[in-house]
Structure 1
Amino acid sequence: MSPIETRTISTLALIYALRMFGLFMVLPVLALYASDYEGASATLVGVAIGAYGLTQACLQLPFGVWSDRIGRKPVILIGLALFSAGSAMCAMADDIWMLVLGRALQGAGAVASTLMALMTDLTREENRTKAMASIGASIGLSFTLAMVIGPILATWLGLSGLFMLTAILAILAMFLLVAAVPTPKQQIRSRDARAFVNQLGDVFKDKQILRLSYGIFALHAVLVACFVAVPVALVKAGLVQNAHWQVYLPVMLVSFVFMVPFIIIGEKRQKMKQVLLIAVLLLIVSLMLLTLELNSIAGISFALWVFFVAFNILEASLPSLVSKFAPAGFKGSAMGVYSTCQFLGAFAGGMLGGYLSEYFGLVGVFIGTLPLLLIWVVLVMTMAKPRHLSSYRVALTTQACANEQLEQDLLAISGVHEVVIMLKDQAAYLKVDNTTFNPTSLKQINI
């Protein structure tokens, strides 16, 4: 990897992390502080927690299309500016509706897919997997830090100060983008990096992709719904607000340790379906434990540990499964549907958690979200066994595009299972078995 690629990937991962850190930081505290706003009810607090998900879901695809027309960096800057403005609005909010609008404006800066597209423009094919893994790791790290640091900072700064800090971090991300990320000489219309409108119909017909998309919807709906109730439950169990980090820190760290063996078994021994089923069942166990242990700090902590072991397994494995199931050349569109469902899940979870909390109490939140997971269990059990294939994009010359035998030549290479040639993109999209595929074998073909 060249020095400029290393710098670019590191900076984009940091930009992604700063944005996600701001979103995640309020998750463990918003239910506690938002109830003090004028006009607040448990239902509206839940809406405020999940509001960002609705605008994120609606604007992911339009921002990606827009970036093809006016450039990646301008669109990302506009998205970060919207996110910063939404954060500032939340900081100045004195009633619940202004807080809801601010959260929705935060979500309007839907630049996740555009950041991925920019990363694709600035890295070579052979380094792209490492780049995406770096961004994925930055998201996981930002979530863990936010869960621990959020309650501490909220004690010092209050909720308004937390949102103002988020606005400042977004501005810092804008400066990083301008100062440290080069402008790509050309934009790659990579169908592995972002969604394409004309492919979405085919993606929605794919039952395996829809199963996984429902899974991420349910996962984030349950996550957000639980955090409408869990912070309140900890306070009622006797743990003051500024000490919540003492629960979240060990829970998050130990859950990561226990998650790793499951991922290794799933990938190395090709047991991803079984690992997925175990993780969903663990989520169900965690919700049942929460209904039984609401008066015990130790009980809530143990239930959260079970929850986050399952959550971390699923967050790591679901995108990998989408990549495995998506046909060659459809990964970006499949991930677009998947991401949209993820954000819709966050919005639905906030609304559902708030409503259940207001009318059925904290126990009602955990019992009321169980049906989402029971449906998921059925979908996992009926899911096809995933093929352990990876996506690979090959840039084509004009001469190669004119070769009528190119598809057959590519399929003849060891380890290549699928080939889709996109003449407009001047690219071939492959599904390959990394145990037998060697990229250097492509040199045998004049591409």
Structure 2
Amino acid sequence: MSFSESFRLQIIVFAVVAASFTNIYLTQPVLPVLQAEFSVDMVQASLSVSAVIMGIALFNLPFGLLVDRITIQPIILMGGFAVAAGGIVCAITDNLNLLIASRFVQGAFIPALTTCIAAYLAKTLPPERLNIVMGSYVSATVVGGLGGRLLGGFIHPPLHWRYAFVSAAVLILVSSIIAYKGLPKQTEESSRKRSNISYWQLLKQWQFFRLFLCAMGSFAVFSSVFNYLPFRLVADPFNFSTGAITSLYLAYIMGIFMGPISGRISNRLGSGSTLIAGSVILASGLAMISLPSIVAIVCGLILVCMGFFGVHAAAIGALNRKLSSGQGRANALYVLFYYVGGSLGIMASGLAYEYGGWGQVMILCGSLVLIPLVVGYFEKHSDTTAKA
């Protein structure tokens, strides 16, 4: 594959992944607005986010099987149309239950555009480039996540959050059609090659399972912080507007740089050291956002983003470097654990917030940081053994 072909592939993949993630977090900065508009509590309003995450979690495995068996083009086209249709329903409905159900449908088809793309990259790219390209893939998730939050709470006025769904639907539809036409074609034979490993075989291997746990624990922390911080900031002593809260999500930009940087650090120092460093940075960020100071919260959010995306890029890069078969299945399991962790983290932190306030949320998140930290220790030991 020439440089121009490789660059074109990365641009297409970046656009599809970014557009996919734009749809996931559209309602996060306007959760207090949804709470008031539909007259529900914060946990019910948060279902507009956690329903998407649960849909992604449940449908990753079927799509992981599918991408190991057929070419990627029809999968992407199907996923793009389904996610766009779900977004249009969300934009026009006045029924919260229908909105939540449509968000679940969106989540169910997002793996067609994310998990399948990751597997496609793992099968297509040479090993020496995979770490860095997976870092760029993570950067695309950052751009999409930030874009969704800005669409939902800043670009469109908060009370017109419905327009954000229309904008996101157009983005995913256009990018999916471009990917369908522009991605290099695979033959049926090449799409099936190296796919003889089962989900159970992957789960039984500690070298893979620990990275799945790392995804679960780190995303549980990250999703909890960004999902419930708006509720803390609209209350005393901050009394932030929705626009002010949304602007804090600009800290997310750190992830755009941390993805590729983490890939390069992993190439140089090993994935274990990168995971440990990312976990320490993440824990430091949690400590700062626990303080009753907006300056500390801003700095803490930057550190949380740096730490989380450093961990995420190192973990997914390490996973795909270790694989010699079943890239679709392995990436499906990774994303399954990732989003199950996010969904459970949101639910557990919601209960912690209701019964113990922000302090209890931070205690829960601080405990969960131990997971990527311990995984980093094992990965570092594995890196050292491999070098020896």
Q: Which TM class, normalised by the smaller chain length? A: 0.7 to 0.9
AA of the residue aligned to 1:173: S
Q: Closer, same or farther in 2 for the Cα pair 1:34/1:366, shift >3 Å? A: farther
Identity of aligned residues (%): 20
Name the one with the larger strand percent. Answer: 1
In structure 1, runs of 5+ residues without a counterpart are 390-416, 418-432, 434-447
Gaps of 5+ in 2: none
Q: Is the 8 A contact 1:25 1:146 kept in 2?
A: yes
**Does residue 303 of structure 2 align to residue 301 of structure 1?**
no
The equivalent of 2:311 in structure 1 is: 314
Preserved CA contact (<8 Å) 2:227 2:346: yes
Deviation per CA, 1:381-407, whole angstroms, max 9, x where unpaired?
Answer: 455523389xxxxxxxxxxxxxxxxxx
TM-score after normalising by structure 2: 0.83
Distance verdict in 2 for CA 1:148–1:92, change over 3 Å: closer
User: Quick check: 1:43 aligned with 2:39?
Assistant: no
CA contact (8 A) 2:134 2:263 kept: no
By how many angstroms is 1:107 displaced?
Answer: 0.5
**How far, CA to CA, are the matches of 1:39 and 1:257 in structure 2?**
39
Map of 1:240 onto structure 2: 241
Per the TM alignment, residue 63 of structure 1 is displaced from its structure 2 partner at its CA by: 2.3
**Aligned-residue offset at 1:201:** 1.8
Change (3 A) 1:187 1:134: farther
Cα distance in structure 2, aligned partners of 1:285 and 1:245: 22
Residue-pair matches, total: 381
Specify which structure has the higher proportion of helix: 2
- Would you say the 8 A contact 2:233–2:239 is kept in 1? yes
| Equivalent residue number for residue 409 of structure 1 | none
Deviation at 1:301, TM superposition (A): 0.9
Partner Cα separation in structure 2 for residue 46 and residue 162 of structure 1: 17
Distance 1:233 1:191 in 2: 50
Letter in 2 for 1:23: I
Cα deviation for residue 302 of structure 1 reads: 1.7
Partner-residue secondary structure (3-state), 1:238 = coil
Instruction: Give SS of 2:290's match.
Output: helix
Q: What is the deviation of 1:328? A: 3.3
Per the alignment, in what secondary structure is the counterpart of residue 385 of structure 1?
Answer: helix
Shift of 1:105: 0.9
Displacement of 1:152: 1.4
- Answer yes or no: is 1:55 the counterpart of 2:52: no
Q: How far is the alpha carbon of 1:207 from its aligned partner?
A: 1.7
8 A contact 1:287–1:367 mirrored in 2? no
The code of the aligned residue for 1:285 comes to S
What is the CA–CA distance in structure 2 between the aligned matches of 1:348 and 1:38, rounded to whole Å? Answer: 23
Kindly state the Cα deviation for residue 22 of structure 1 after the two structures are TM-superposed.
Answer: 2.5
> Is the counterpart of residue 269 in structure 1 residue 269 in structure 2?
yes
Q: 1:144 to 1:315 in 2, by over 3 A?
A: farther
Counterparts in 2 of 1:197 and 1:227: CA distance versus 1, 3 Å: farther
Report the structure number with the largest CA radius of gyration: 1
- Structure 1 residues 272-281 or 210-219, which shifts more? 272-281
Cα drift, residue 310 of structure 1: 0.7
TM-score normalized by the length of structure 1: 0.73
Which runs of structure 2 are paired with 1:40-439 in the superposition (5 Å)? 40-67=40-67, 71-109=71-109, 110-111=111-112, 112-118=114-120, 125=126, 129=130, 132=134, 134-148=136-150, 150-155=152-157, 158-181=160-183, 183-189=185-191, 196=195, 198-236=197-235, 237-249=238-250, 251-253=251-253, 264-270=264-270, 272-293=271-292, 296-324=293-321, 326=322, 328-329=324-325, 331-383=327-379, 385-387=381-383
For residues 69 and 329 of structure 1, what CA distance do their matches in structure 2 show?
A: 13
Question: Does the 8 Å contact 2:58/2:336 carry over to 1?
Answer: yes
Residues 253 and 106 of structure 1, relative CA distance in 2, 3 Å threshold: closer
Shift of 1:21: 2.2
Structure with higher RCO (Cα < 8 A, 6+ apart):
2
Residue deviations 1:291-333 (CA, integer Å, cap 9, x gap): 332xx32221122122112112112211122234x35335554
C-alpha root-mean-square deviation of aligned residues, in Å? 3.4
